Copies of this chain bind each other. A is one copy, B any other.
Amino acid sequence: MTSSHFVDQAVALQPDGDNFFTGAAHPAWGNMVGPFGGITAAAALNGVLQHGKLLGVPISLTINFCSALAAAPYRLQVLPVRTNRSTQHWTVQMTQAGADGADETVLTATAVTANRRDTWSTDDVPMPRVPAASELERRNLFGVEWIKRYDMRLVQGGVPAQWDGSGDNSLTQMWTRDDPPRPLDFVSLTALADVFFPRAWLRRATRVPVGTVSMTVYFHADAAMLERSGSGHVLGQAQAQSFRNGFFDQTAQLWNEAGDMLATTHQVVYYKE
């Protein structure tokens, strides 16, 4: 990959024998601990997309984050465990050398890819009526490195201005696109599925320690819809459903500027206190 875009740099993989790739966390995507989970998820999906036996396009992706990724190389095992006539099932594991030198699993994933065919189609959740991205001011959500990789325009539900315990809901709506702009693809869409800051911070106006443990993306966009989306902003809407004894969930939707639903995504997040 010769592109110099931050997304391509971060998800770049080198083939390392059958069903294996190597890669490394990229400093441009630093988060509080390790890199932004969304870009790590995107790199895992890229292993599937780069695999010589790939059938079709991504339909679903689930990533389980076992530990923070260290600023070091990783190895990615990407296995097509079952190939049917029009669908294909994948398992993925990312490993890094641990403190004692032995390989440790830092991420597990599963994915389904498929050859889509034209069918009756409709979106059942319309894009909310919000101001266009061009009518809103660009504003970075909070001060970590990966946030600089995005042009974010908040509609509602930003990071609380005061951490005073005053929150009463967990809904965020915002437009986001890569900075610099980059035509949307499955890799960048995967990263965009994780751009929302922790719902626990918004709901409680309290900045507690958090970490995503599992994240799933359902891709509704096919290659043609991605191409139509170009490098425009993507509207994201995210909300928690339950906060319970150390874990909360998040359900989210992503639309392109034309109002087509690109993806729906869910995650469950550890929180302390």
Contacts and interface: CB of A to CB of B under 8 A. Distances in A.
A268 B213 contact: no
Contacts of A221: 244
A268 B60 CA distance: 7
Q: In the complex this chain forms, how many copies of it are found?
A: 2
A110 B112 contact: no
B214 A62 contact: yes
Would you call the interface of chain A mostly helix, strand, loop, or mixed? strand
Nearest to A63: B110
Interface in A130-160: none
A247 B60 CA distance: 10
Q: Among A121, A249, A261, find the residue whose CB has the most chain B CB atoms closer than 10 A.
A: A249
A247 B216 contact: no
12 contacts: A59-B214, A59-B268, A62-B110, A64-B112, A87-B270, A89-B108, A119-B243, A123-B242, A124-B203, A216-B216, A218-B249, A220-B241
Given A66-B84, A122-B242, 10 more contacts: A60-B214, A62-B62, A64-B110, A67-B84, A81-B108, A89-B105, A116-B247, A117-B245, A125-B241, A266-B266
